[in-house]
C-alpha cells in the first residue's frame, strides 16, 4: 500500500490515506455553532488534498465542552451549520469525519459542575468532579447516540468516538480515573461497559465507518497500556468498529515523551495482533515518515495535526518530498497556475481539455 493509494472502509473510499486530525479551534459561535472560520479552515485542508477531514471534537452535551468556542452536536439546532461544513468539505473532494466527545472532568468552565466516573480531579488543585449516578451515565449514552444520529443527518462519512486524552470515556476506561465499585468500574469489562453500550447504540442505526480514538497508554503507574487495548480493541472489533485511531496520554499530568512517529508502535501492535485497521497520529510531519508508515503496513491511515495547521497543502508538500505528482484541484490547473511549476508536465490531453475551456 502507498500513501496516495485510495482506501475503502465499508461504504467509503478515501482518495488517499491522509486524514486531518481533529483539532479544537475555539472559534464556534456562542452555543457551539459552525462559523465562517470553520468553513474556510476545514475547506482549505480539503482543497489541500487530504482524503479525510476531521473537524474538531463535537461536544455531545453542553456540559461536555472542553472549552469556550467548541463546536457542539447536542441539539438539532446544530444541524444546519454542520451540514454546510460537510458540504464544503465534500465539494473540495474530501470525506468528512465527526469526532464526538464529552469532556468529563476536563469541562472547560471552571465555575461549572463537571461529571466523571469518580470524584477525582485531574490534578489536586483542580475542581473536583462529581461521581456520576447511573441515571447520568445512561443519559450520556443517549447523548452520544443522538449525536451520532445527527452526524449521519449532517452527511458525515465517518463517526469517531473520542475515548482518548483524559476526557469522559477515557476516564471510564482508565483505572487511574475510574475507582467505581459498581458495574461501571473495576474489571476491564466494567470499565469498558459505557463504551460498549455507546458503540452498540450507534451501530444500531449507523452502517457507515466507525472509528474510535484511544489513548493507548496513560504513561503512568497503574494506568492503561497497549496491553489493555488488546482487550478493549478486540471488543471494539467484535462490535463493528472499523478503525482504531491510536493516540496516547491525557489521563495523568505527565509529560508525554514525544518524537516523530512516537504513537505509531501502538497502531502497529493493534493492527497486527487484532487484525483491525488502525490510524497513526503524532508528529508525522514528513512525507517520508507517512509513506514509511503506510508502505510498511504499520497503520492504515496517517492523521496529520499541527503540520496541517501550518500547511493546508501538506499532502502536496509530502508528495513533492516523495517526488510524486498528485492531482491538483481543477481550478489550479487553469492558465498553467502555480501548482504545475514543480510538477512533471501534465498529460497533453489534460492540457488540451483545460485550454479548450477558456
Ligand X SMILES: Cc1cc2nc3c(=O)[nH]c(=O)nc-3n(C[C@H](O)[C@H](O)[C@H](O)COP(=O)(O)O)c2cc1C
The nearer residue to ligand X, 176 or 284, going by C-beta atoms, is 284
Stretch that binds ligand X, among 137-145, 182-190, 299-307, 314-322 (CB under 6 A): 299-307
Contacts of residue 224, defined as CB under 8 A and 6 or more positions apart, other chains included, come to 173, 174, 175, 215, 216, 217, 218, 251
Query: Rounded to whole angstroms, how far apart are CA atoms 49 and 299?
Result: 20
Which residues is 323 bridged to in the sheet?
Answer: none
Q: Is 17 in the site for ligand X (CB under 6 A)?
A: no
The nearer residue to ligand X, 92 or 284, going by C-beta atoms, is 284
Cell digits of residue 93: 473532494
The nearer residue to ligand X, 185 or 294, going by C-beta atoms, is 294
The nearer residue to ligand X, 12 or 23, going by C-beta atoms, is 23
Cell digits of residue 215: 489513548
User: Secondary structure of the chain: what % helix, strand, coil (to 5)?
Assistant: 40, 15, 45
Binder of ligand X out of 304, 315, 316, 317 (CB under 6 A): 304
Binder of ligand X out of 44, 283, 324, 326 (CB under 6 A): 283
* Torsion from C-alpha of 51, 52, 56, 61, nearest 10 degrees: 170
Nearest distance from C-beta of residue 347 to ligand X, angstroms:
34
Stretch that binds ligand X, among 27-35, 141-149, 281-289, 318-326 (CB under 6 A): 281-289
What letter does residue 342 receive in the DSSP assignment? Answer: G
Stretch that binds ligand X, among 44-52, 147-155, 248-256, 277-285 (CB under 6 A): 277-285
By CB under 6 A, the residues from 307 to 346 that bind ligand X are 307
Binder of ligand X out of 10, 12, 23, 321 (CB under 6 A): 23
The overall longest dimension of the chain from CA atoms, in Å, is 72
Q: Do residues 214 and 278 touch, judged by C-beta distance below 8 A? A: no
Q: Do residues 3 and 322 touch, judged by C-beta distance below 8 A? A: yes
Which residue's CB comes closest to ligand X?
A: 305
Q: Which of 270, 203, 202 is nearest to 231 (CA)?
A: 270
Nearest distance from C-beta of residue 291 to ligand X, angstroms:
16
By CB under 6 A, the residues from 211 to 270 that bind ligand X are 213, 247
Query: In the complex, which residues of this chain contact ligand X (CB under 6 A)?
Result: 21-24, 56-57, 99, 162, 164-165, 213, 247, 281-284, 304-307
Amino acid at each position: 500500500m502507498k500513501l496516495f493509494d485510495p482506501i475503502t472502509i465499508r461504504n467509503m473510499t478515501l482518495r488517499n490515506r491522509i486524514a486531518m486530525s481533529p483539532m479544537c479551534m475555539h472559534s464556534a459561535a456562542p452555543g457551539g455553532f459552525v462559523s465562517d472560520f470553520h468553513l474556510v479552515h476545514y475547506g482549505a485542508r480539503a482543497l489541500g488534498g487530504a482524503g479525510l477531514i476531521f473537524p474538531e471534537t463535537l461536544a455531545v452535551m453542553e456540559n461536555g465542552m472542553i472549552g469556550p468556542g467548541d463546536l457542539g452536536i447536542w441539539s438539532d439546532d446544530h444541524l444546519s451549520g454542520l451540514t454546510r461544513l460537510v458540504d464544503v468539505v465534500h465539494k473540495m473532494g474530501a470525506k468528512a469525519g465527526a469526532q464526538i466527545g464529552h469532556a468529563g472532568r476536563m469541562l472547560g468552565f471552571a465555575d461549572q459542575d463537571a461529571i466523571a466516573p469518580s470524584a477525582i480531579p485531574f490534578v489536586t488543585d483542580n475542581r473536583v468532579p462529581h461521581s456520576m449516578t447511573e441515571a447520568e451515565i445512561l443519559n450520556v449514552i443517549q447523548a452520544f447516540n443522538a449525536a451520532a444520529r445527527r452526524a449521519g443527518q449532517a452527511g458525515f462519512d465517518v463517526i469517531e468516538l473520542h475515548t482518548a486524552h483524559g476526557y469522559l470515556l477515557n476516564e471510564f476506561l482508565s483505572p487511574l480515573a475510574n475507582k467505581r465499585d459498581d458495574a461501571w468500574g473495576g474489571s476491564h469489562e466494567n470499565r469498558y461497559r459505557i463504551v460498549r453500550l455507546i458503540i452498540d447504540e450507534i451501530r444500531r442505526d449507523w452502517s457507515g465507518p466507525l472509528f474510535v480514538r484511544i489513548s493507548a497508554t496513560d504513561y503512568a503507574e497503574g494506568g492503561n497500556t497497549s496491553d489493555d487495548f488488546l482487550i478493549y480493541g478486540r471488543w471494539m472489533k467484535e462490535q463493528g468498529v472499523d478503525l482504531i485511531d491510536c493516540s496516547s496520554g491525557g489521563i495523568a499530568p505527565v509529560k508525554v515523551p514525544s518524537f516523530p512517529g512516537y504513537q505509531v508502535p501502538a497502531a502497529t501492535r493493534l493492527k497486527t495482533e487484532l487484525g483491525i485497521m488502525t490510524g497513526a497520529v503524532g508528529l508525522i510531519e514528513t512525507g517520508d515518515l507517512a509513506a514509511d508508515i503506510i508502505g510498511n503496513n504499520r497503520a492504515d491511515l496517517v492523521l496529520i495535526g499541527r503540520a496541517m495547521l501550518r500547511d493546508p497543502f501538506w499532502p502536496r508538500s509530502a508528495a513533492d518530498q516523495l517526488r510524486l505528482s498528485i492531482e491538483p484541484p481543477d481550478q489550479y490547473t487553469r492558465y498553467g497556475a502555480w501548482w504545475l511549476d514543480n510538477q512533471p508536465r501534465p498529460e497533453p490531453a489534460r492540457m488540451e481539455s483545460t485550454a479548450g475551456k477558456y
